[in-house]
Structure 1
Amino acid sequence: MSGIPQVRKTGPRTYVPAELILGGQVVEARAAGRIGPAGAGSVKTLGVAVTDAINPEGIATEPTIANGRTVLNAAPLPTVVAVADSGIEVPVKYAAAAAFGDRLKAAAAGAVTPMLAEDDPRSYVGKCTQPAGVAAGSIGLVTTA
C-alpha cells in the first residue's frame, strides 16, 4: 500500500447518540455505531461528551399546543455529539471522592469513580487531574485516556 488517508487530524470525534447525552458524561459504544452514557465499569468507553445531543428519533417534529397556540421547538438539540478522548482535559461528575492522580473508571450515568486494584484494566477512562482532588458528587477535571 503506497499510502493511507488520515482520518482525524485534530479535535474531538463526533458520533450519533442512541439516547440523550449531556456534555460532561463519559460515553460508551452502543449497537449500530451509536453511543450513550457509559454504565458502571464499562469496557467500551470512548471518552467524554463535550456537548449535549439527542438521538435523531428523539427530535419532536410535531407541534404541541401551549396556551392555545401551536408551538414547535425551532432550536432542537443537535443529533451528533463531540467526544473528547486521548489526553484531552475536561470537567466530569465524580460519583465517589477521588484524589489527585487517581486512575478512573466509568460509574453509573456517565460519571467517574476511582479504579480498584481488581478492576478490569480495559475500564480505565482517564485520571483525576483536579489538584486538590474531588469530593463525591462534585465536578472535577479528568484527563481522558
Structure 2
Amino acid sequence: MSGVTQVTKTGPRTYVPASGVAVTGGQLVEGRSGGRIGPAAAASVKVLGVALADAIAPEDVVTTPATVNGRPVLNSALLPTNVAVAYGNVETRVSYSANANFGDLLVATANGTVAPAGATPDARTIVGRCTEPAGVVFATNPVGLARIL
C-alpha cells in the first residue's frame, strides 16, 4: 500500500447509539452491531471510550405530538442522535459503581460505569485509572475523574 488517509488525529470520535438505547454523558460505551454504540456491559472488552454528552438513536426520536388538555404538544428540545466519545489516554469525569482510590486500575461494570479492577484483572478489561485526587466515594458522589485508555 503506497499511502493511507488518516481518519482521526486527535479529539473525540462521533458515534450513533443503537436502536432503543440511550447513552448518558460520563458512561463508558462499547461497540454494538451495525457500527453503533451502547453503554458498556460489565467486564466488556469492546469499550470505545466515554460518552461526552447524552444521545438517543435516530429512530427513537419522537416526532408525533402528544395530546395534553386537548392540545397537541411536541417537545422541541430533542436529544442529539450522535455523541462524541473520548478515548486514547484522555482524562474525563466518569460514573463509578464502587469506591475507588487514587491510582486504582478500572474495569467496566454494568450500565457503562467503572469500578476498581481488583488484584488480578484480565488485562483486556482494563479501561483506565482513577485520577480523582481524593478517590471516589460511591455513596456520596459516584462521579470522578479517570484517565481512559
TM-score calculated relative to the size of structure 2: 0.93
1:101 to 100, 103, 109: 103
**What is the CA-CA distance between 1:34 and the residue it aligns to?**
0.7
Match for residue 142 of structure 1?
Answer: 146
**What is the CA-CA distance between 1:61 and the residue it aligns to?**
1.3
84-93 or 115-124, larger mean C-alpha shift: 115-124
- 1: CA distance between counterparts of 2:108 and 2:37? 14
- The one-letter code sitting in structure 2 at the alignment partner of 1:139 is V
Which contiguous aligned blocks of 4+ residues in structure 1 show a shift greater than 4 angstroms? none
SS at match of 1:95: coil
Match for residue 21 of structure 1?
Answer: 23
Q: 1:12-35: CA deviations, max 9, x gaps? A: 001110110000001111111111
- The one-letter code sitting in structure 2 at the alignment partner of 1:142 is A
Match for residue 83 of structure 1?
Answer: 85
Match for residue 62 of structure 1?
Answer: 64
**What is the CA-CA distance between 1:71 and the residue it aligns to?**
1.1
- For residues 101-140 of structure 1, what are the structure 2 equivalents within 5 Å? 101-137=103-139, 138-140=142-144
Q: 1:28-75: CA deviations, max 9, x gaps? A: 111111110011111111110001000111110111111221111222
Q: State whether structure 2 residue 9 is matched by structure 1 residue 9.
A: yes
Match for residue 49 of structure 1?
Answer: 51
Give the count of matched residue pairs: 145
- The one-letter code sitting in structure 1 at the alignment partner of 2:12 is P
- 2: CA distance between counterparts of 1:119 and 1:30? 23
- 2: CA distance between counterparts of 1:135 and 1:93? 11
**What is the CA-CA distance between 1:2 and the residue it aligns to?**
2.4
**What is the CA-CA distance between 1:118 and the residue it aligns to?**
3.2
- 1: CA distance between counterparts of 2:47 and 2:119? 19
Superposition CA RMSD, Å: 1.1
- 1: CA distance between counterparts of 2:122 and 2:70? 56
TM-score calculated relative to the size of structure 1: 0.95
Q: 1:112-140: CA deviations, max 9, x gaps? A: 00002332211111100001111125110
SS at match of 2:41: coil
SS at match of 1:122: helix
- 2: CA distance between counterparts of 1:28 and 1:61? 28
- The one-letter code sitting in structure 2 at the alignment partner of 1:15 is Y
